């Protein structure tokens, strides 16, 4: 009797191991760039930015990099976030409305540049592979395309 339990366990173990394999996960890609975009309509409506100069912005895959310039002591306390309104315009392609919110409470006259990276994967729309991002504070819309 003891031999048969051992034999059954020996035969079942490889089956359990094979069951943990999943082909569906092979296509899933995780983007590890920057902080995620915040999706919050109340925050979007009330958000106000400090003064800054947009130096550059760049979209690379799921990552949006925004570089700004502003006065300050060293820029270490600056806060930068991208906030989505949560509203999606039903156009082709769909559109989202966002704000770049820069907060600077430093009271010095030196000028610094700083860039931050934002992860856009939370803005993807099911059944679509492209969304137009209208980001207040940026001079042009961004066509965000994804698989």
Does 15 map to a domain? no
In a domain, 74, yes or no: yes
Asked if residue 4 is part of any domain, the answer here is no
Return the pLDDT at 32. 80
Q: Among 38, 143, 124, which Cα is nearest to 84's?
A: 38
Tell whether 16 is covered by a domain.
Answer: no
Q: Which residue has the tokens 């704000």?
A: 99
Quote the domain boundaries for residue 127: 31-145
Tell me whether residue 13 is in a domain.
no
Alpha helix ranges (H) inside the chain = 2-19, 41-46
Contact yes or no for 133/85 (Cβ under 8 A): no
Residue 11 lies in a domain: no
Residue 20 lies in a domain: no
Tell me the CATH number at 127: 2.60.40.2370
Asked if residue 58 belongs to a domain, the reply is yes
Our count of domains for the chain comes to 1
Quick check: 80 pLDDT over 90? Answer: yes
- Give the number of other CB atoms < 10 A from CB of residue 100: 22
The chain-wide mean pLDDT, for the chain, equals: 85
Check whether 68 has a pLDDT greater than 70. Answer: yes
């Amino acid at each position: 009797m003891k031999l048969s339990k051992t034999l059954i366990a020996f035969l079942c173990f490889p089956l359990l191991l094979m069951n943990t394999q999943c082909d569906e996960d092979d296509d899933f890609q995780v983007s590890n760039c920057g902080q995620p975009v915040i999706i919050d309509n109340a925050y979007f409506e009330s958000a106000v930015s400090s003064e800054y100069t947009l130096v550059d912005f760049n979209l690379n895959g799921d990552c949006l990099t925004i570089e700004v310039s502003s006065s300050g002591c060293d820029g270490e306390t600056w806060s930068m976030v991208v906030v989505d309104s949560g509203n999606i315009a039903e156009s082709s392609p769909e559109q989202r409305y966002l704000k770049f919110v820069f907060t600077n409470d430093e009271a010095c006259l030196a000028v610094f540049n700083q860039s931050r990276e934002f992860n856009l994967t939370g803005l993807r729309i099911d059944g679509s592979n492209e969304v137009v991002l209208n980001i207040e504070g940026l001079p042009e819309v961004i066509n965000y395309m994804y698989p």
